[in-house]
Chains A and B, each alone.
Chain A
Amino acid sequence: MLICDEYLTLASLDEAFDAMARHRGRCRIIAGATDTLPWAREGRAGDVEVPVLIDVARIPELNARRVDGTRVRLGAAVPIQRFLDDPALAKALPVMPQCAIWFADDQIRESATIGGNVINASPAADGTPPLIAHGARVELAAKRNGRIVRREMAVEDFLQGPGKTALESDELLVGLDCEALPGYGASFEKVGHRRSLVISVVCLAALVKLDATKQKIEDARLAIGGIGPVPQRLTEVESFLRAGPLTAERLEQAAEMPVALVASRSRQEYRREVVRGFVLRALMTAVRNAGGASLLAPELEAAYA
């Protein structure tokens, strides 16, 4: 049970920083609340008494989303569901809708925020591998000496371990700045015990851009979660894919490459199998979504469909 003496709903960043300064050491930030409320229960944190809860979900800057030619700026409190129902976001961030459709359920996606998914720093977060594949950078802000100061860093640098980030105690995660990758073929792979409301055992985001001939990968982005303490971008696989022609044999080679990265606390054997299959299937799907031909033998294609 999450117990507080005061619940503040703030309308601006300035107000939020003032409240954080006023209640330093005795407050907790809340946005969608979909991670915090289940956390404060028996078996996890138990009953948690926080004197002041500071709700930042209604701050306009945290809800803004802007797409220009090359960048997408997402406010930290943008709900996950927007990746499904905002066509501009879906076009600029092609892997996000596929991630969103597997994320929790229809109802939780309306509250759960993209910033919350990053801040929560779960090794199994669904949202972080797609952000990393989109080259996302976190935007952090604090109020120091009367003025708001900001800094940026890559999501993979921000995430330091399960539940651990580079956030300073006076800082807020205010937004995410992503590369717009329109025209990329995308795929998001996830496995868990069921379809809805399930934590990923492994999840993988893939983005592929083909050249004009549709025979060669011009650019590839892959990021994986659930196989270690933090999600990671598969840069070696990406360079391998860019370096040669697009063939079934090379896709299978690529699928073998990240298998050795599995360093999860449990079920490593199973995850290795999953990683191999996921990379192959993600690339197969992403290539097809980018307008490429089916590459694998029909029986393999069917097996991985």
Chain B
Amino acid sequence: MPDLRIEATINGRKIARNAKPHLRLLDFLRDDLGHTGTKEGCGAGECGTCSVFVDGVLLKSCLVPAAKAQGTRIETVEGLAKAGELSVLQQAFHKAGASQCGYCIPGMVMAATAALRANPFADREEIKERLGGNICRCTGYQKIFDAVELARDVQNGRRPASALAEEDAADGAFIGVNVRRLDAPSKVSGALKYAGDMVMPHMLHMAVLRSPHAHARIVSIDTSEAEAMDGVEGVITAADVPGVDGFGVFVHDQPIMARGKVRYVGEQVAAVASEDPLIARRALSKIKVVYEPLPAVFDAHEAMKAGAAVLHDYAPDNIVKHIPIRVGDVAKGFAESDLIVEETYSTQQVEHAYLEPEAGLAYVDADGVVTILSPSQNITHHRHMLSRIIAQPINKVRFIMSPVGGGFGGKEDMVYQGMLALMAMKTRRPVRVVFTREESIITTAKRHPSHTTYKMGLTRDGRIKAVEIKMISDGGAYGMSTEGVMRKAAILAAGPYAIPNVKVDTYGIYTNNTPSGAFRSFGALQTQFATETHLDICAEKLGLDPFEIRRVNAMRDGASTHTKQALKSVSLTRALDAAEKAARWEPGVPNMRGATRGDLNGEGTRPSCTLGARLAAAASPKTSEVA
């Protein structure tokens, strides 16, 4: 297996190295040379976190075989400015608040650098186009485009360099003023180390064997061949758990690795560690697991029926959690109504798609403290759970939270930290795991897919007399945050509306789908989508303006919620006024239109995608400079 010989110039320094022939330029830069400012977000050319210049041309280094680096001049984010300094663009990203989790930012800065090198006068449309290969999940892009425009103007002398300068809020005010992020310089420079960027001497790489079945009994697991492989330092399965196995944000129903049976495709079954990540991957295929497929259920409604496949012995009805709320008497409310409207609403499963795939590093320190470093959104809870699972007192378990490259709720679950701990304990060596994007998508929690049946009774003037709401949510194979999501969905189900008679039932149901868990808004989105859509339909049926029907029913200052929480102040009517104005809403019934529509094509809207700003600019050269 002849190694490659790579001689290249990286950030102005000559290097000459031997490298494995299968490496990508990304691996060579990160693992062999330690340039971890270049990130891996997807490994498939989709996200742009790995963008680097090769001979002055910006490329996605996950799509470049390392061999192609031979004889080239490479520039990474670390090379954009002198040590301790920031380039104009990096300063502009800092100034504009264009970094949040920061994981996409080195790639964004590289793409922005390429854009302004190619056209120092690029307008916003052209900037958008040139940054089209880079994805951000936090910022919504506007601050990033603002930053690139700011840098462009400073470079062109249209704005003074002082526009980039520090500007502290006066008199210690922080609300309503721009405050710079303290951690932004480390993000825009690529200096910040995420868990997958960290290394320790003598460190092992862990790879995970996953279930190909949605529901199957594990008849046997034979790891002997994998353990006998040269270079394999450790293999773990559920049998290696010394304490009480089980984790979850509410119910501890998920084993560190599948125990007895698997409940969804992608569930972890075994893990292998080796100094060489390739050996760890190859060893997975040597683990022999015999499965006996079981009937599986993929629909929450089916799972609630008698005779459906049961996932967990403790929950023979497949119910993770049922949250009922009863206020007043809905039958009476419906009887008093002039109009009753019934509809059903469904929402789909959604992946968080943070740019940083799950990663972690674990070691047992000199005092025997099992230490796990990971971008966990819930380290204290994880610490308590792991202590029980590995049968160690709490002072022998330490969690360190590494920078979170985007979470949105998706990193609340202790999905891989337990495996890392077990492997570090078994091998007595530091162990790192870095999920591929595919593993991240197949394994980790999603937003609950939901199905809501909605019945609302109203009087002719739009006043809501009663609502009856039933939401069935697909919780997937494990409980994770389902209980909390069902609570919040129920609490907020009827919306911020003063309704005398309310009946709400939310159900989180086990199925053999990928587990559902925490995701921004935590259950509120699903029921709010139903409530707000339903109100529009009711407004139409009653011939009312949709803003008006909401104002008629809005909770006001001093209101009490459906779960009896006293609200000192309620901003709903102000929010409605602002939304109505911003939308340039034409007053009236939603399905009636006047002669003109004021809500189209104005401020706050944009036309659909059009063909290349650059082609348009080429057709009329005068637009190539910013007015």
Contacts and interface: CB of A to CB of B under 8 A. Distances in A.
Nearest to A110: B57
Task: Specify the main secondary structure of chain B where it touches its partner.
Answer: mixed
Given A2-B22, A101-B611, A106-B130, A33 B63 contact: yes
A5 B60 CA distance: 23
B615 A197 contact: no
Interface in A22-52: 30, 32-34, 37-38, 41-43, 47
Interface in B157-185: none
Contact of A37 (B1, B63, B615): B63
Interface string B101-139: 000000000010010000000000000011011000000
A106 B438 CA distance: 24
A57 interface: yes
A102 B613 CA distance: 11
Nearest to A189: B611
Contacts of A4: 21-22
Counting contact residues on chain B (CB < 8 A from A), the size range is: 35 or more
Given A33-B64, A107-B58, A7 B22 contact: yes
A12 interface: no
B602 interface: no
Given A5-B1, A7-B22, A197-B46, A108 B65 contact: no
A110 B44 contact: no
B22 A108 contact: no
Contact of A107 (B22, B133, B436, B442): B133
B278 interface: yes
A194 to B, nearest CB: 8
A41 B436 contact: yes
A148 interface: no
Contacts of B70: 9
A62 to B, nearest CB: 14
A33 B70 CA distance: 16
B67 A7 contact: yes
Contacts of A263: none
A104 B615 CA distance: 16
Given A4-B22, A107-B51, A196-B133, A34 B45 contact: yes
A8 to B, nearest CB: 8
A1 interface: yes
Nearest to B54: A110
Contacts of A101: 129, 611-612, 614-615
Contact of B48 (A33, A53, A84, A107): A107
A161 to B, nearest CB: 24
Interface in B20-65: 21-22, 24, 43-46, 48, 51, 57-60, 62-65
Contacts of A32: 63
A115 to B, nearest CB: 16
A128 B63 CA distance: 22
Contact of B133 (A30, A43, A53, A105): A105
B2 interface: yes
Interface string B563-605: 0000000000000000000000000000000000000000000
B51 A7 contact: no
B64 A41 contact: no
B21 A5 contact: yes
Contacts of B45: 34, 37-38, 104, 108, 197
B67 A34 contact: no
Contacts of B133: 104-108, 196-197
A120 interface: no
A30 B65 CA distance: 10
Nearest to B52: A107
A105 B111 CA distance: 11
Contact of B24 (A37, A47, A55): A37
Nearest to B610: A305
Given A37-B45, A106-B133, A197-B46, A6 B1 contact: yes
B61 to A, nearest CB: 10
Given A6-B1, A196-B132, A42 B611 contact: no
Interface residues of A, number: 36
B626 interface: no
Nearest to B278: A3
B86 interface: no
Interface in A70-123: 84, 97-98, 101-102, 104-108, 110-111
Nearest to B61: A107
A41 B441 CA distance: 13
B609 interface: yes
B3 to A, nearest CB: 10
**Interface-centre pick from B57, B62, B63, B114 (highest chain A CB count, 10 A):** B63
A223 to B, nearest CB: 18
Given A110-B57, A197-B46, A38 B68 contact: no
B612 A7 contact: no
Nearest to A109: B133
A1 B614 contact: no
A98 B70 CA distance: 33
A195 interface: yes
A3 B22 contact: yes
A2 B278 CA distance: 11
A9 B67 contact: yes
A97 B615 CA distance: 8
Contacts of A42: 436, 438-439, 442
A37 B111 CA distance: 21
B281 interface: yes
A23 to B, nearest CB: 13
Contacts of B111: 106-107
Nearest to A84: B614
B440 to A, nearest CB: 11
Contacts of A110: 57-59
A111 B67 CA distance: 14
Nearest to B19: A7
Contacts of B22: 1-4, 7
Contact of B59 (A41, A55, A98, A107): A107
Contacts of B65: 7, 30, 33, 37, 53, 55
B122 to A, nearest CB: 12
A6 B63 contact: no
Interface in B442-460: 442
A7 B611 contact: no
A26 to B, nearest CB: 14
Contacts of A41: 43-44, 436, 438
B331 interface: no
A190 to B, nearest CB: 9
A56 to B, nearest CB: 12
A305 B614 CA distance: 18
B218 interface: no
B542 interface: no
Contacts of A9: 67-68, 70
A108 B63 contact: yes
A108 B114 CA distance: 13
B615 A111 contact: no
B327 interface: no
Nearest to B42: A38
Interface string A188-230: 0000000111000000000000000000000000000000000
A40 B544 CA distance: 57
A106 B44 contact: no
A6 B132 CA distance: 34
A107 B290 CA distance: 45
Contacts of A5: 1-2, 21
Nearest to B66: A7
Given A195-B609, A197-B45, A111 B1 contact: no
Given A9-B68, A55-B68, 17 more contacts: A3-B22, A6-B21, A33-B64, A37-B43, A37-B65, A53-B65, A55-B67, A98-B615, A101-B129, A102-B612, A106-B133, A107-B59, A107-B60, A107-B111, A107-B133, A108-B60, A195-B609
6 contacts: A30-B65, A41-B436, A98-B611, A110-B58, A195-B129, A197-B133
Chain A to chain B: the 6 pairs with minimum beta-carbon distance, closest first: A105-B133, A196-B132, A101-B612, A42-B438, A7-B21, A38-B44
